[in-house]
Amino acid sequence: MDVTRRHFALMSALGLGAGAAGCSAKPSPEQQLDAQIAGAEKLLGVDYTDAERAQLRGQFEGNDDARDALRAWDKPNGLAPAGLFDPRLPGKVYENDLNKIWESKLSAMAAARVEKPGRVNILLPSSAGNPDESQTGEFGEIVGRAERGNRIQNFTEVTHADLAFASVEELGARIRAGDLTSSRLTQIYLDRIAKYDPQLEAFITVTTNTAIEQALQADKEIAAGNYRGPLHGIPFAAKDLLDTAGIKTTYGAMPYKDRVPDSDAAVIERLREAGAVMLGKTSLGALAYGDIWFGGRTNNPWNTNEGSSGSSAGSCSATAAGLCAFAIGTETLGSIISPSTRCGTTGLRPTFGRVSRHGAMALCWSMDKIGPITRYARDTALVLSAINRYDPRDSGSIDMPYFPQTTGKTVIGYDPSWFENASIAQNAALKAARETDAEIREIKFELPGDFPLGALNTILFSEAAAAFEHLTLDGRDDDLVWQDENAWPNSFRAARFISAIDLIQAQRLRRAVMEAMDTVFEDVDMLISPPFAGNLLSITNYTGHPALVMRAGFTARPTRTLFWQSEEGGEDFDVPDSIVLWGRLFEDITLTQMGQSIESGLNIASWRPDKFKN
């Protein structure tokens, strides 16, 4: 007899053998429903009696219409749930009246760096990819000194590669001083994209015409004295989950590869207002997970045999390889920190709610964050100054100052256990932190209570499965390139078995963790650790705290998988190691200031990947 898998499972649940001799009776509707309930009990980890199942029948009968109607109802990706996440705890006071003051101060600081045309303060990367010293002088007559080990290299001119790898701050100063035009700089990056991106697969769409038009407009405005600020004329790349009017925004996923929005994301609007020039849309692992997208895999510039990690895969790869001055990334649970660690970029994951997500693909409404990816710590602050603003179109947007009001010496906490298995580079970063003006305080990081932190992921998986429910229900999840146990299609399907009660309990756990982290930050201003130490990556993404990840040094390692496992055999490559500063809520800029001090002590931020250094 022909028995479907569903019927076989039902018969098994009833204790009947589908192929048993002489078995022809069909189970009654009541028996069928009781068997389905019993099967669900096993998946949900509960155990009911026969009498309890009989009572439950009425709860399920007749509910199909409401369920099916809800599934069929059109739910735009940007429609957030009514229950909003707020990282602020009741009774806590946060500064909220200094925004305009500090934004004005930042603009004044940037303007002060150009005393007169032709003279600029610069940090020149050398053509050999080594750290160098800051010099002041006439453009074209600057002699920089680069030193790595015992090698010293002098040069008297700035190459296209030197400009491509320069900081946003330096490029902005050169453009304002008239030493460099946005058009020239934009063409340098477009040429580098054409030359190098085939090896990296960091761009999904290159917006050549848009970039040239925006650069010409910037040059005209600056020449006319209409200078908008430190990002005016600076070329950048945007992660391809940020909507761009009339330009494809694909989410890196096959079902959306031809999607063209009719409006811009808030971050794109802000960067256009700042005068920045968009070079294109960078790759991301499909639906913001990993480094595999519908066109291939994005690679690490320091070892192109391995992926760049994700999901801000293209933004980090392009920035590290000098294909843009900066890029925009997003993070839900590691999507800035992980690829920045792999590619050696500096990434700022802002406090939840600081940067508007309007027009950005929603994966997890209560966790998604947007932040800058750069090569230098100070540049993250310059970019954040442009994209930080309250936006009523984002249900999670919070009106908070750009700079917090801080006094006294910065206290940085660390748990020695975080560094027991850390690399030499990461321990060097801790040493560099000790050599700043900050107080370095040893702590024992131990959250009160026996928190089952893994249960927090119930929140992410539930929201992500809801955001892309239509792919699961209509079978288009099969069109996603990455298909295995860890990929989204399987996770979305599994999430349908998460109970509403378990989700609520996970939210209660989240509040307890938020309160515990608030206690931790009563004694220190920030924490310092390797990227994946102490569960800090997961904890702070759920609590909404900011983080700055930055290059600590280099370590010889074999090629690695997406999940950081080393592949057996093959040669070692000198690849970046990173360090992370984890900060108090809304004290994002305090992190960037300390990052600058540590970066200066390490003196390796300007090193370039060998394959892409020229």
Active site residue 369: no
Of residues 461, 440, 610, 612, the one with CA closest to residue 526 = 440
| CB-neighbour burial class of residue 421 (10 A; exposed 0-12, middle 13-18, buried 19+) | exposed
| HEC string for 270-316 | HHHHCCCEEEEEECCCCCCCCCEECCEECEECCEEEEECCCCCHHHH
Round to whole Å and give the CA distance between 469 and 141: 60
Residue 240, SS3 per DSSP: coil
Round to whole Å and give the CA distance between 399 and 354: 7
- Please name the residue that has the structure tokens 């540049």: 379
What DSSP line would sit under 368-381, residue for residue?
Answer: -EEEEEESSHHHHH
Active site residue 239: yes
DSSP single-letter state for residue 360: B
> Which conformational region is residue 353 in: left (phi greater than 0), alpha (psi within -120 to 50 degrees), or beta?
left
Q: Give backbone dihedrals phi and psi of 116, rounded to 5 degrees, phi first.
A: -160, 155
Round to whole Å and give the CA distance between 479 and 487: 12
Q: Which of 127, 308, 309, 311 is catalytic?
A: 311
Q: Which of 335, 338, 385, 462 is catalytic?
A: 335
* Residue count of the chain: 614
Residue 268 and residue 257 in contact, taking contact as beta carbons nearer than 8 Å: no
Apex 327 CA angle, 323 and 330, nearest 5: 140
Q: Which of 127, 182, 183, 239 is catalytic?
A: 239
Active site residue 311: yes
Residue 344, SS3 per DSSP: coil
Of residues 330, 379, 320, 336, the one with CA closest to residue 354 = 330
CA distances from 18 to 10, 13, 36, 196 (A): 10, 11, 16, 61
> Which amino acid, one-letter code, is at 537?
L
Round to whole Å and give the CA distance between 363 and 349: 16
DSSP single-letter state for residue 257: T
In the chain, what is the straight-line distance between the N-terminal and C-terminal CA atoms, in Å?
70
Q: Annotated catalytic sites, by residue?
A: 239, 311, 335
